[in-house]
Amino acid sequence: MGILSQPAIPPLPESLSFAGKTAIVTGANIGLGLAAALHLAQRNISTLILAVRNPKTGQTTKDALLADPIVQKHATKPTILVFPLDLSLPSSVEAFASKVIAEVPKLHIVILNAGMGDLNWKVNPETQTEAHFQVNFLSNAVLTVRLLPLLKTSAQSAGEASHLTIVGSRMIAMSSFLKNPIPDTVPVFTFFNDRAQFRSMTRYGDSKVLVTMWIRQLGKHVDPSTVVVNDVCPGMVRTNLEAGQPWIIRAVMSVVKGIRGRTAEVGARTLINAAIAGPETHGEMLGDYEIYPYNFLKTNEGKKMETKVWEESLAAFESSSPGSVQAAGLRD
């Protein structure tokens, strides 16, 4: 495959149906999230929860999905709910998870798509954690822990595995950790929240390394017969991921994406595929439809870092939400 193109992504199976299922899509009002939500709505999803920062735009998205010509042809229209979620704010993440647990009786599919890519050092105003660390990794990990019990009980009722997938990135192949691993004596959380360690050009990929490590560890602690967990890179897609970056980078990326970028509809096929994939993808990262090999994870440095990510994350969650880790079945 040439540098100016990407592999073709096959269409989703025509027979694919999500009838009787409930799904959550984060970042569902734009780009990949919107396209994934449309795929679900067009394939008979029974209940679709749009997790968005702005409920007003979420309502507009809901109206657009219900007005889609394919959705309009369905005898039974999906129930579409709009729940507020801002991944940059831990309080919003907790409120969202609590709302889902309180109001949603069953949950079969979670697609954690929302993320950010910026070149500037930013922190969230509540806990002062670095923005990429918070948005791309920590908030998604929190949602995983909080929603796992509901995914598990729903799988038992349905008689088939639920699915949770997080959007990852092949940018992990350009991670700073390949040349400069985090020292053994430095906690991962400390490293990411130290401004002196911030490298603008690699921070996005570095944050996605945490996602892949988290998924790998989840795969060792969650039974794939109840919940299949994975992360997926959708390739280069024509979205606004670079919206917060300098104009020159936006201009260059606009040209590059115009040449080789996938449409959001095509890119979102990889998200849906990950959300229906079998146990062979459990604990793995997918590049498009295939398992993506990331050799850093096989090194001693990678293995040690992965263990630290897992232990530090669970300790943080046990502190911020007592009982949540045990409820998720991640601690004995």
Residues catalogued as catalytic: 204, 208
Tokens representing 145 are 């822990």
Contacts of 159 (CB under 8 A, 6+ apart): none
CA 304 – CA 129 distance, rounded (Å): 23
Strands (E) in 61-161, as ranges, are 79-84, 109-112
- Sequence-distant (6+) residues with CB within 8 A of 157 are 106
Q: Which residue's entry shows tokens 């999230």?
A: 33
Answer for the pair 34, 61: CB distance below 8 angstroms, yes or no. yes
Residue type, 124: N
What kind and span of H or E run contains 248? helix 247-260
Contact partners, residue 19, CB within 8 Å, separation at least 6: 44, 45, 46
Give the three-state DSSP class for 231.
strand
Q: Locate 52 and state its tokens.
A: 């968005």
Specify the DSSP element, H or E, that contains 150. Answer: helix 139-158
The single-letter code of the amino acid at 137 is: F
Tokens of 213: 């490590």
Nearest to 213 by CA among 285, 290, 282, 163: 285
End-to-end CA distance of the chain: 47
For residue 105, give Cα distances in angstroms to 18, 154, 218: 17, 8, 23
Backbone angles phi, psi at 211, to 5 degrees: -60, -50
d(C-alpha 322, C-alpha 314), whole Å? 10
